[in-house]
C-alpha cells in the first residue's frame, strides 16, 4: 500500500513538472521581442531561483505556487509587451517576501535594476494581509515606486490580474473584498496606463465576484445574442470593406462586444434595461499606415464610413487630434446601421491600436520616431510625483486624492495667453489657479471664464479660457475647500489654513493666560483640562483657538470660574449634565444587539452592531460588517453604495456577517413603482399590500402626469423573502411596469 502511495505521488509530481515546464515554454514563446541567448539565460536563472524559493508551496487552489509567477510573467510579456528585465522580475516578484532569499541576494545574482524593481514589488511587512487584500498604506508604497521605475506598477497590475483570474478557491467574503479593491484602485490604474484590455478584464472579474447574479445574467444574454450579432456585424462591415478596398487601403476589421461591466454601468447610469443598451457591439477598423500619413488615413476612413451610414454628430470622439493623457489615440463615431441599430466604429492605425492594447509599454517601441506619447507619460508621472510628495493626514486621504486626480476623466482649459492646461473633469476656477501657481491660488479674488465673471463654484468645461483675478489682501478660506477637487489645490489650502490656525492658537493661548493671570489664577494643566470639558471641546488647542477667535470671551471665562467656586459636588453635577448633552452618546436601546439578528466572524459571535442607514439592510440581504473606531459594527448590504470604498480602503475593519434567520423582525423598506397611469391604480396597490399580503404601509405617495406615474411607498416586511413576494405581486398590477427597492441615501 505504501509503495502504491509513493508511486501515485511520483506520478503526480511528474505530471505537475510537465505542466510547469509547458507553462515555462509558453512564457518563452509569449514574448513579442526577439530573445538573445543571454536574454534566455537571464530568464532561465530567474525561473530556477523562483522554483527553489517556492518549492513545496501551493496556492489555495492546490496547484504549485510557481505557476503563479510564471503566469504573471506571461501577462507581462504577452499582454503588456515588456522585455527580459520585467519578465525576470515578474518570475521573482514574491521571492524576497516568501522565502529566505534577500534583496541583497537578488542584487548580487541579477544586478541592481532587477533588485530595484523587486524591492518596489515587495509588500510592507505587517500591513499586507496576503489572505485578504492590501491596505491604503501598501498602495501608497507601490505608487511611490513610480518615481523609480514604471515597470513596478505594470508588473503589479499583471500580478493582480492573475490573482483575479484564480479566485474561485477563496471564500465569498474574501472574493468580494479583493474584487472591491480591484475595482476601486487597480482597474482605474490600468486605464491610466493605457492598458485597455487589462482594465476591462479587471472590471468584469470584479463584477463577477461583487454581483455574481447580475454578471451571470448579462453574460448569458450576450451569449444568446452572439449568433445574430455576428451575422449583423458582418453585414454591416461588408459595405465598408468593399469601399476601403477600392480606395487601396490596407486594413483589418475587428468586431468587439461591450464589456459586461460597461453594460451594467450604462444600465445603472441611464436607468435602462439590457435590451435598451443599443451600443453593445462595435467594430474597429485598423489601418496599416506609416506614422507620416496615419492621421490623414484615419480621417479618410471616417469620410468613407459616414458616406455609407448616417453618423450621430453628438457621438464623435476625436482622440487623434488630442490624445488622452494615457496616450490613447482613436476616432470614435456612432452610425445608424441596418434595421435602425446604432453601431460604434473605432478608427485607428496599427500603431495606435498597439498602444491602446499595451499602453505605455508600446510607447517605448515608437519612441525614436514619435515622442509625443512619451511626453504624455512624463507629464502624468510628474503629476503623480507631485501628489506623492504632498502631505496627507492619512493613507486613506492620500488614496482618495490620488484616485480623484489621476484616475478621473480630463478637461482641457486655456490660460489668457492660450496655454493648454489639463485638469480633472469637474474642476473649479480655484483648481485652475493652484495648477498655475500656489501663490496665485492663495490670492484668488475671483475668476473670468470666456470673458465673463463667474463664482468660485462654477465648474469648468473643456475649451474654457480662464483668467484668475488676484489681490494681495486675499488669503485662503475654509469655505474654499468645497470648490476644489485637485489634490494640489486642496492640500495648498489645508496647509495655509493649518498655518492660520496655529497662529490663532498661539494668540489665543497668550490671551487666555493673560486673562487668568489678571485674576490671580495659575493656568495649570488640570485647570485647562477642566475648561476644555466645561466648554464641550475635544482638546486644549480648540480652547485656545476659540479664545483667539473671540468665541470664548470674558463673560464665558467668568462663568466657568464662578462654577468652579460652587464646590466639588456642584462641579461634578454640572459636568455630568453637560457630558450627556455634549457627547450625544446612545443608550443600549439605540443599538440593535438587544434584538439579536446578526452574527459576526467565522465563529458566529455576538457583537454590538447597528444597521447602516445608507443601505437599510433587512433579514435575508447579503451583508458584511464594518467595525467603527468605537468598536460598534455597522452592518451594510454587499451592494451598498459605500461597500466598494469601505471594502477596498478599510479591509482590516471588514468582518464577515450573517443573519440569524429564525429571528424575524419588522423592516421598513422603500419601494419605487413606475408605470402607466390607470383608473383606480392607488386602490389596487393598497388592496394588494394591505388586504391580500397583510403588509403595513407606513407612507405612500403616488404622482402622475402625461399618462405615466411614479409612486414611493414605504412598507414594513419581515425579511427579504417577504419583500420579494410583495414586489412580485405588485408587478402583476395592470399598468405597473417596474417595482424597485430603493436604498436610503
Task: Give the pLDDT band (50/70/90) at residue 245.
Answer: very high
Neighbour count for residue 584 (Cβ, 10 Å): 7
Higher pLDDT, 370 or 673: 673
| Mean pLDDT of the region 423-447 | 89
On whether both 641 and 625 belong to a single domain, the answer is yes
Alpha carbon 452 to its chain's center: 36
Asked if residue 490 is part of any domain, the answer here is no
Question: Beta strand pairing status for 410-414 and 310-311?
Answer: unpaired
pLDDT at 715: 84
On whether both 23 and 157 belong to a single domain, the answer is yes
On whether both 188 and 44 belong to a single domain, the answer is yes
In sequence order, which residues have a C-beta less than 8 Å from that of residue 283 and are 6 or more positions away?
233, 236, 237, 240, 253, 254, 255, 256, 343, 344, 345, 346
Asked if residue 579 is part of any domain, the answer here is no
pLDDT at 73: 94
Q: List, for residues 8-24, the tens digit of each pLDDT value.
A: 555 556 788 888 899 99
Using the predicted structure, report yes or no on whether residue 124 has a pLDDT greater than 50. no
Domain closes at, from 150, 182, 209 = 209
pLDDT at 602: 76
On whether both 228 and 337 belong to a single domain, the answer is yes
pLDDT at 125: 36
On whether both 424 and 365 belong to a single domain, the answer is no
On whether both 188 and 281 belong to a single domain, the answer is no
Domain closes at, from 643, 659, 675 = 659
pLDDT at 580: 39
Question: What is the percentage of the chain residues whose pLDDT exceeds 70?
Answer: 80
Asked if residue 156 is part of any domain, the answer here is yes
Residues 508 and 700: their CA atoms lie apart, in Å, by 54
Asked if residue 401 is part of any domain, the answer here is yes
On whether both 217 and 205 belong to a single domain, the answer is no
Task: Give the pLDDT band (50/70/90) at residue 319.
Answer: confident
Residue 734 near residue 669 (C-beta atoms within 8 A): no
Asked if residue 241 is part of any domain, the answer here is yes
pLDDT at 203: 94
Among 197, 150, 194, which residue's Cα sits nearest to residue 373? 194
Q: Which three cell numbers stand for residue 713?
A: 411607498
pLDDT at 522: 84
CATH number for the domain spanning 411: value is 3.10.20.30
Catalytic site positions: 97-98
Higher pLDDT, 44 or 388: 44
Domain closes at, from 187, 209, 231 = 209
On whether both 716 and 655 belong to a single domain, the answer is no
For residues 502-525, one letter each, b for 16 or more C-beta atoms within 10 angstroms of the residue's C-beta and e for the rest, the string is: eebbeebbebbbebbeeeeeeeee
Averaged pLDDT score across all residues of the chain? 79
Asked if residue 510 is part of any domain, the answer here is yes
The listed range with the strongest mean pLDDT (288-297, 578-587, 611-620, 704-713) is 288-297
Q: Which domain holds residue 515?
A: 495-561
pLDDT at 278: 72
| Mean pLDDT of the region 573-595 | 42
Higher pLDDT, 487 or 428: 428
On whether both 384 and 410 belong to a single domain, the answer is yes
Using the predicted structure, report yes or no on whether residue 731 has a pLDDT greater than 70. yes
Crossing angle, helix 2-30 and helix 37-53, to 10 degrees? 140
Contacts 24+ apart (CB under 8 A), 403-407: 403/184, 403/185, 403/188, 404/485, 404/486, 404/487, 405/485, 405/486, 405/487, 405/488, 406/192, 406/380, 407/188, 407/189, 407/191, 407/192
The listed range with the strongest mean pLDDT (106-110, 271-275, 451-455) is 106-110
Using the predicted structure, report yes or no on whether residue 147 has a pLDDT greater than 60. no
| Mean pLDDT of the region 402-417 | 71
Asked if residue 429 is part of any domain, the answer here is yes
The listed range with the strongest mean pLDDT (132-136, 401-405, 536-540) is 536-540
Using the predicted structure, report yes or no on whether residue 128 has a pLDDT greater than 70. no
Residues 559 and 551: their CA atoms lie apart, in Å, by 14
Alpha carbon 608 to its chain's center: 30
Asked if residue 271 is part of any domain, the answer here is yes
Residues 574 and 571: their CA atoms lie apart, in Å, by 5
The region of weakest confidence among 341-350, 576-585, 635-644 is: 576-585
Higher pLDDT, 50 or 400: 50
| Mean pLDDT of the region 104-112 | 92
Using the predicted structure, report yes or no on whether residue 579 has a pLDDT greater than 50. no
Residues 563 and 558: their CA atoms lie apart, in Å, by 9
| Mean pLDDT of the region 59-66 | 86
Among 150, 172, 151, 167, which residue's Cα sits nearest to residue 202? 167
pLDDT at 587: 41
On whether both 217 and 255 belong to a single domain, the answer is yes
pLDDT at 737: 82
On whether both 134 and 41 belong to a single domain, the answer is yes
Task: Give the pLDDT band (50/70/90) at residue 581.
Answer: very low
Q: Which three cell numbers stand for residue 624?
A: 458584511
pLDDT at 66: 92
Q: Total structural domains in the chain?
A: 6
Question: Beta strand pairing status for 342-349 and 281-287?
Answer: parallel
CATH number for the domain spanning 705: value is 3.30.70.260
On whether both 20 and 119 belong to a single domain, the answer is yes
Amino acid at each position: 500500500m505504501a509503495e502504491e502511495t509513493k508511486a501515485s505521488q511520483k506520478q503526480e509530481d511528474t505530471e505537475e513538472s510537465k505542466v510547469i515546464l509547458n507553462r515555462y515554454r509558453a512564457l518563452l514563446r509569449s514574448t513579442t521581442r526577439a530573445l538573445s541567448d543571454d536574454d534566455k539565460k537571464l530568464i532561465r536563472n530567474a525561473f530556477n531561483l523562483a522554483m527553489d524559493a517556492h518549492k513545496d508551496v501551493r496556492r489555495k487552489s492546490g496547484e504549485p505556487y510557481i505557476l503563479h509567477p510564471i503566469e504573471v510573467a506571461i501577462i507581462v510579456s504577452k499582454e503588456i509587451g515588456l522585455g527580459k528585465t520585467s519578465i525576470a522580475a515578474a518570475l521573482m516578484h514574491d521571492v524576497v517576501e516568501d522565502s529566505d532569499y534577500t534583496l541583497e541576494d537578488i542584487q548580487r545574482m541579477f544586478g541592481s535594476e532587477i533588485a530595484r524593481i523587486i524591492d518596489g514589488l515587495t509588500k510592507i511587512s505587517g500591513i499586507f494581509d496576503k489572505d485578504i487584500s492590501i491596505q491604503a498604506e501598501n498602495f501608497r508604497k507601490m505608487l511611490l515606486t513610480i518615481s523609480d521605475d514604471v515597470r513596478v506598477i505594470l508588473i503589479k497590475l499583471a500580478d493582480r490580474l492573475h490573482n483575479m483570474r484564480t479566485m474561485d478557491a477563496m471564500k465569498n467574503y474574501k472574493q468580494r473584498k479583493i474584487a472591491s479593491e480591484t475595482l476601486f484602485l487597480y482597474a482605474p490604474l490600468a486605464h491610466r496606463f493605457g492598458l485597455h484590455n487589462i482594465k476591462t478584464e479587471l472590471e468584469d472579474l470584479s463584477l463577477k465576484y461583487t454581483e455574481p447574479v447580475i454578471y451571470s445574467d448579462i453574460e448569458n444574454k450576450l451569449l444568446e445574442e452572439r449568433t445574430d450579432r455576428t451575422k449583423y456585424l458582418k453585414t454591416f462591415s461588408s459595405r465598408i470593406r468593399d469601399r476601403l478596398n477600392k480606395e487601396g487601403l490596407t486594413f483589418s476589421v475587428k468586431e468587439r462586444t461591450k464589456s459586461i461591466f460597461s453594460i451594467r454601468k450604462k444600465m445603472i447610469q441611464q436607468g435602462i434595461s439590457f435590451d435598451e443598451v443599443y451600443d453593445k457591439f462595435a467594430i474597429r477598423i485598423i489601418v496599416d499606415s506609416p506614422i507620416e500619413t496615419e492621421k490623414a488615413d484615419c480621417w479618410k476612413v471616417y469620410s468613407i464610413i459616414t458616406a455609407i451610414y448616417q453618423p450621430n454628430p453628438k457621438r464623435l470622439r476625436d482622440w487623434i487630434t488630442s490624445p488622452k493623457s494615457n496616450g490613447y489615440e482613436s476616432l470614435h463615431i456612432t452610425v445608424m446601421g441596418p434595421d435602425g441599430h446604432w453601431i460604434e466604429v473605432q478608427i485607428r492605425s496599427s500603431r495606435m491600436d498597439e498602444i491602446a492594447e499595451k499602453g505605455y509599454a508600446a510607447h517605448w517601441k515608437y519612441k525614436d520616431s514619435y515622442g509625443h506619447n512619451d511626453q504624455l507619460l512624463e507629464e502624468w508621472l510628474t503629476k503623480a510625483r507631485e501628489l506623492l510628495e504632498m502631505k496627507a493626514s492619512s493613507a486613506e486621504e492620500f488614496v482618495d486624492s490620488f484616485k480623484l486626480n489621476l484616475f478621473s476623466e480630463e478637461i482641457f482649459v486655456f490660460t489668457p495667453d492660450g496655454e493648454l492646461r489639463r485638469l480633472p473633469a469637474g474642476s473649479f476656477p480655484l483648481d485652475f489657479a493652484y495648477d498655475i501657481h500656489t501663490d496665485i491660488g492663495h490670492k484668488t479674488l475671483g475668476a473670468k471664464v470666456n470673458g465673463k465673471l463667474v463664482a468660485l463654484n462654477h465648474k469648468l468645461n473643456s475649451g474654457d479660457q480662464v483668467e484668475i483675478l488676484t489681490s494681495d489682501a486675499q488669503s485662503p478660506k475654509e469655505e474654499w475647500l468645497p470648490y476644489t477637487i485637485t489634490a494640489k489645490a486642496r492640500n495648498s489650502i489645508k496647509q495655509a489654513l493649518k498655518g492660520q490656525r496655529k497662529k490663532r492658537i498661539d494668540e489665543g493661548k497668550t490671551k487666555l493666560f493673560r486673562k487668568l493671570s489678571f485674576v490671580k489664577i495659575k493656568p495649570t494643566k488640570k485647570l485647562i483640562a477642566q475648561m476644555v470639558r466645561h466648554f464641550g471641546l475635544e482638546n486644549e488647542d480648540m480652547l485656545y483657538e476659540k479664545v483667539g477667535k473671540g468665541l470664548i470671551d470674558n463673560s464665558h471665562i467668568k462663568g466657568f470660574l464662578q462654577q468652579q467656586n460652587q464646590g466639588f459636588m456642584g462641579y461634578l453635577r454640572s459636568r455630568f449634565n453637560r457630558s450627556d448633552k455634549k457627547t450625544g452618546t446612545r443608550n443600549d436601546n439605540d443599538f440593535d444587539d438587544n434584538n439579536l439578528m446578526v452574527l459576526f466572524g467565522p465563529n458566529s459571535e455576538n457583537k454590538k452592531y447597528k444597521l447602516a442607514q445608507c443601505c437599510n439592510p433587512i433579514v435575508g440581504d447579503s451583508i458584511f460588517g464594518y467595525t467603527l473606531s468605537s468598536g460598534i459594527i455597522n452592518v451594510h448590504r454587499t451592494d451598498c453604495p459605500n461597500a466598494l470604498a469601505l471594502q477596498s480602503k478599510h479591509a482590516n475593519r471588514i468582518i464577515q456577517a450573517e443573519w440569524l434567520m429564525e429571528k424575524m423582525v419588522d423592516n421598513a423598506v422603500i419601494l419605487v413603482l413606475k408605470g402607466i397611469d390607470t383608473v383606480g391604480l392607488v386602490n389596487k396597490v393598497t388592496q394588494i399590500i394591505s388586504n391580500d399580503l397583510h403588509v403595513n404601509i407606513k407612507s405612500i405617495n403616488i404622482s402622475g402626469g402625461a399618462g405615466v406615474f411614479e409612486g414611493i411607498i414605504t412598507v414594513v416586511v419581515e425579511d427579504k423573502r417577504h419583500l420579494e413576494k410583495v414586489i412580485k405581486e405588485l408587478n402583476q398590477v395592470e399598468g405597473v411596469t417596474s417595482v424597485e427597492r430603493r436604498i436610503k441615501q
